[in-house]
Structure 1
Amino acid sequence: MSNLESALTIPELLAAAATRYGDAMAIEDDHVRISYHQLDQLRRQAARALLALEIEAGERVAIWAPNIQEWIVAAVALQSVGAVLVPLNTRMKGAEAAFILRESGASLLFVIGEFLGTDYPALLAGEALPELRRRVCLRGEAAGCLDWDAFLALGAEVSPAELVVREGEVHEHSLSDLLFTSGTTGKPKGVMTAHGQNLRIVRDWSAMVGLRAGDRYLIVNPFFHSFGYKAGWLAALMRGCCILPQQVFDVPVMLERVARERITVLPGPPTLYQSILSHPDRQDHDLSSLRVAVTGAASVPVDMVRRMRSELGFETIVTAYGLTEACGFVTICRPGDSAERVATTSGRAFPDVEVRCVDGAGNPVPAGEPGELLVRGYNLMKGYFNNPGATAEAIDADGWLHTGDIGVLDEAGYLRITDRLKDMFITGGFNVYPAEIEQVILRYPGVAQAAVIGIPDERLGEVAMAFLLPAQGQRVDTGAFLAWCREQMANYKVPRRALLVDAMPLNAAGKVTKDALRRLAGAG
């Protein structure tokens, strides 16, 4: 197997990490301690179990669970046999998860039994999932699911030699994952990326933020998101860090863990640091071990960055910008950048990644002028799964990805995101796509038209607000409507306000003008 620096596939990386880091801790999850050597053994055992279940190279395998050690073992095992990881958001309702299982054609689902009072396997009852052959419970038990220990035991049926053959067939261009991103059409699209490109960009990210062997990395960002997965546990394993999974964003618990477990690395959305800084009991906890912070995904106050340095003791604070279609990484600040630069920009492009801002005709705009952000480089997706039309729309003939974000590049190449062509907004670190919510709302009885915008929220950055045009002769109760929304969609998508309108403001093309709705929201 290759060494860590030259590993081109995730199984190669895990084998090399086991050789280099051996008995050092790879994961600490509650009372479970897993060394790098043990993690590699578990990976191989689970990979052989997947071969016993006849999982073929290229098959899609989904994981629907919070941040737990079994998530990582399942992911690296399926990637070791050439299968493709499909992470599912734990906030999804059954219909939302089922849509992605069908779209990806997933043949196997790893699922948590129960989490925060929700029976996850039961959410899929009644959903048509023709391709899904098997379900494995990572923790707990559920009808129709194989439990985790019984799954691992299947590995005994397959020889290590068989796994060696299968691993040898995985190469840098093999698909490693299929992360679903919601588009402006409201239909989530599967983004295909490969082993080699992910490892290359994660290697650069890890070096820039200064991850070190022995670092203790509290991963609060969900594993189902590229931040918690690629900049999270994959980066940690590459650099010999110890992963400490955190299942729920709970500030008192995090403060206690940072102090007790001597956490050194703590990335997250700005909400995370603002919550820590404003917590009344912060002074009661020893946070002196903290060294590295990485944030982004929303506007960052300069004062917050200064306070993170002076009051929380972070040595390295960087902001970054990325999107799923670029393996999750496009630009990043460099250690040593000023508080102003960290707060007001998303850094500059990664090595061998190009960014430019263009006008409506596709011509580059001068430094300091806003334009649509385009990205080109080895980190771009292989395309949208089973959707060549959408792929051609996103990546032009010259290989530039059109992000739909409006940005400004300064003379030094530092990027500032100023707006979003797609009307996407961010709630507590989660991307929210109005078109997706609007499609759900139109199923509500008595609603003829619906439009959604993001409105400011002190805690979460922005939250959804819905504008409803009732059908002729129909009455809509906004309280009942909001309650219905809470049952139908993940909580970060749920509108916090709803307003009935007599008519939707439309432009000449007959499209709803969201600017007019923002003015209406402000007046209301």
Structure 2
Amino acid sequence: MSDTLLPVLDLITDHLDRQAKLLPDQDFIVFEDSALSFAQTKELVDQAARALLATGVQKQDRVAMMSNPRPEFFIHFLAVTSIGAIWVGLNPKYTADELDHVVNDAGPCLLFGFNDVEGDNNQEKLLALAQEHQSIQKLILFDQPTDRQGTSWEDFLLQAQNISGRQLLARRQETDPLDPAYLVYTSGSTGRPKGALLTHRGTNFCHVIAIERKGLAKRRLICNFPINHVAAIGDICGRTLVGGGTIYFQERFSPGAVLSLMAAEHLNTMVGVPTMLQMCVSHPDFAQTDLTAVDLLAWGGSAMPAELLQALMDKTNCTRCTMGYGMTETTGGVTYSGLHDSVEVLATTIGTPDARQPLRIWHPDGRLAQLGEAGEIQVKGDFTLAGYWQLPDATTAAFTEDGWFHTGDLAVERPDGNLQIVGRMSEMFKSGGYNVYPREVELALEEHPGVAIVAVISVPDPRFQEVGVAYVVGAETDAPSAEELRAFAAQHLANYKVPKQILFLDELPLLAVGKVDKKALRSNH
């Protein structure tokens, strides 16, 4: 870690302290018509941290917040983690059942949120959680409590005067870099979400590597991801903190609002999952929006279609493109593209590993996979999760006996050293005794100029045990028929890999984080 150009500091908030000294007056957080400098943000974080101590929050207590992405979220996150407590983000879009699962599992002692968020019914959800879960000792509301049910944020902050700066410093010095800092629940596409405990050291380490490999210093970009996802917590807010940039918060993703803000503020970075970026390109305002200030495109979560990437590059002054691969349990990325890779490499691979984050492709036979052979991506180091919350058996199963973390993703190494995802181990299926990797089939079909995006699943078959079904979203013009697309696939894939059925949709179902919800697709069969 000492080889990095940026320092890997002990606690997440140590980087806020650093920037408050180096860049005290620079805008760090912008929301609507207000802005906070690094120095102002530090003052608010320290005040909230002292109030948390005065309320009796102990090390490793869980503290939850339900909010859309806005400044209070990241200030709260930094305050909670700075005193050795564990922060838990709640998505207002979640149903009551989904919220109950997370709160019941995490057992937070305090719950923070907003009464009035248009369309989210927050008041009812917050009051129900506070009343039904015994672990929650107090409900604190950032806006004025309705009928005084709960404590206002302003009244909560008044308690900070009961804790000195020396007491706050003492608590922070008691916090170990490898202590869990926050709890992120996995998407739950294959079952009930599990809480992944992520540490201070792992978070800072991943941020520093990402900034170096992806050129993320001094970025000005939008955060509109759900606050319970590592994209908001780390990929956008955390990296921008460590890299000395500026975050522009939007409470929800709207392609028109994204384009308007980027043009008005001359933002230099456009970031999102490919689905979000496609919606921006397809928006009626895209053609006339001035995006010439953008010199960096960054994405993750899924592969970027080549046509979409080219459209964005043509529209902006992009001199660098960056993507990579990671997951909740790895805290951040573990592979990275080169900043000047070709469109083909950027659209079809996940880049190369970093020597500071040991990674191997492990063949099912229990050996290192050879060049071109599919195997599981496994990583090792203290940047991986500390464990799954209250699930010791699941934690043990997530690692090999010698400490390698199972990502569950299958990849091959190309001759140029780039890795290519071929599917999830759980998604791989056997058709007539042969292994089929859905991602390989999706990439082949997406080569057709009339195809925008593809999702492949497997279904039972009496003759071949399992066969592939492809769900296809066609391009705006010249969308092929199912027969034409099967013939196209047969030119690029072995017969057993060609989907036996091709179905067209106007759009694919998505999880809250923008990934295709294949569980929903399987429910159709």
TM bucket, shorter chain: 0.7 to 0.9
Aligned ranges 1:171-320 → 2 under 5 Å: 171-182=176-187, 186-213=191-218, 215-320=219-324
The 1-side partners of 2:212 and 2:520 are apart by: 46
The 2-side partners of 1:262 and 1:99 are apart by: 41
Q: Are 1:122 and 2:127 an aligned pair? A: no
Q: Unpaired segments of 5 or more residues in structure 2?
A: 429-437, 440-454, 458-468, 476-508
The 1-side partners of 2:330 and 2:515 are apart by: 24
Task: Identify which of 166, 182, 190 aligns with 2:171.
Answer: 166
The 2-side partners of 1:374 and 1:59 are apart by: 31
The 2-side partners of 1:458 and 1:386 are apart by: 44
Q: Which residue of 2 aligns with 1:10?
A: 12
Partner of 1:372: helix, strand, or coil? strand
Does the C-alpha gap of structure 1 residues 414 and 90 become closer, same or farther in structure 2, counting only changes over 3 Å?
Answer: farther
For residues 225-276 of structure 1, give each alpha carbon's deviation from its aligned partner in whole angstroms, at most 9, with x where no partner exists: 1112111111111121111012211111111111111111221011222222
User: Does the CA contact (< 8 Å) of 1:306 and 1:339 recur in 2?
Assistant: yes
Does the C-alpha gap of structure 1 residues 498 and 402 become closer, same or farther in structure 2, counting only changes over 3 Å?
Answer: closer
Q: Are 1:379 and 2:383 an aligned pair? A: yes
User: Does the CA contact (< 8 Å) of 1:294 and 1:320 recur in 2?
Assistant: no
Q: Report the CA distance between 1:185 and its aligned residue.
A: 5.9
The 2-side partners of 1:498 and 1:69 are apart by: 33
Q: Which residue of 2 aligns with 1:84?
A: 86
Q: Report the CA distance between 1:279 and its aligned residue.
A: 2.4
User: Does the CA contact (< 8 Å) of 2:190 and 2:519 recur in 1?
Assistant: no
Q: Are 1:325 and 2:336 an aligned pair? A: no
The 1-side partners of 2:44 and 2:254 are apart by: 30
Q: Are 1:157 and 2:162 an aligned pair? A: yes
The 2-side partners of 1:185 and 1:271 are apart by: 21
Does the C-alpha gap of structure 1 residues 238 and 493 become closer, same or farther in structure 2, counting only changes over 3 Å?
Answer: closer
The 1-side partners of 2:515 and 2:241 are apart by: 32
User: Does the CA contact (< 8 Å) of 1:93 and 1:490 recur in 2?
Assistant: no
Partner of 2:270: helix, strand, or coil? coil
The 2-side partners of 1:101 and 1:497 are apart by: 24
Q: Report the CA distance between 1:387 and its aligned residue.
A: 1.0
Q: Which residue of 1 aligns with 2:23?
A: 21
The 1-side partners of 2:114 and 2:515 are apart by: 22
Q: Which residue of 2 aligns with 1:60?
A: 62
Aligned ranges 1:387-426 → 2 under 5 Å: 387-423=391-427
- Range that drifts further, 26-35 or 345-354: 345-354
The 2-side partners of 1:131 and 1:238 are apart by: 34
Q: Which residue of 2 aligns with 1:466?
A: none
Q: Report the CA distance between 1:114 and its aligned residue.
A: 2.5
Partner of 1:353: helix, strand, or coil? coil
Partner of 1:188: helix, strand, or coil? coil
Q: Which residue of 1 aligns with 2:445?
A: none
User: Does the CA contact (< 8 Å) of 2:295 and 2:319 recur in 1?
Assistant: yes
The 2-side partners of 1:4 and 1:92 are apart by: 37
For residues 451-510 of structure 1, give each alpha carbon's deviation from its aligned partner in whole angstroms, at most 9, with x where no partner exists: xx9944569xxxxxxxxxxxxxxxxxxxxxxxxxx9xx97989989999xxxxxxxxxxx
- Range that drifts further, 174-183 or 92-101: 174-183
User: Does the CA contact (< 8 Å) of 2:217 and 2:244 recur in 1?
Assistant: yes
Q: Report the CA distance between 1:351 and its aligned residue.
A: 3.3
Q: Which residue of 1 aligns with 2:358?
A: 354
Does the C-alpha gap of structure 1 residues 491 and 169 become closer, same or farther in structure 2, counting only changes over 3 Å?
Answer: closer
Task: Identify which of 367, 370, 376 aligns with 2:371.
Answer: 367
Q: Unpaired segments of 5 or more residues in structure 1?
A: 427-431, 435-452, 460-485, 500-513
Q: Which residue of 2 aligns with 1:344?
A: 348
Q: Which residue of 1 aligns with 2:36?
A: 34
User: Does the CA contact (< 8 Å) of 1:405 and 1:420 recur in 2?
Assistant: yes
**How many percent identity over aligned positions?**
27
Does the C-alpha gap of structure 1 residues 20 and 493 become closer, same or farther in structure 2, counting only changes over 3 Å?
Answer: closer
The 2-side partners of 1:149 and 1:129 are apart by: 24
- How many residues were matched structurally? 448
- Range that drifts further, 384-393 or 185-194: 185-194
Q: Report the CA distance between 1:212 and its aligned residue.
A: 2.9
Q: Report the CA distance between 1:140 and its aligned residue.
A: 4.9
The 2-side partners of 1:497 and 1:331 are apart by: 26
Partner of 1:118: helix, strand, or coil? coil
User: Does the CA contact (< 8 Å) of 2:58 and 2:85 recur in 1?
Assistant: yes
Does the C-alpha gap of structure 1 residues 284 and 368 become closer, same or farther in structure 2, counting only changes over 3 Å?
Answer: same
For residues 51-93 of structure 1, give each alpha carbon's deviation from its aligned partner in whole angstroms, at most 9, with x where no partner exists: 1111011111112111110111111001111111111223211
- Range that drifts further, 152-161 or 385-394: 152-161
Partner of 1:153: helix, strand, or coil? helix
> Under a length normalisation based on structure 2, what TM-score does the superposition of the two structures give?
0.79
Q: Are 1:137 and 2:125 an aligned pair? A: no
Q: Report the CA distance between 1:28 and its aligned residue.
A: 1.0
The 2-side partners of 1:390 and 1:332 are apart by: 28
User: Does the CA contact (< 8 Å) of 2:319 and 2:340 recur in 1?
Assistant: no
Residue 139 of structure 2 aligns with an amino acid whose one-letter code is R
Does the C-alpha gap of structure 1 residues 198 and 222 become closer, same or farther in structure 2, counting only changes over 3 Å?
Answer: same
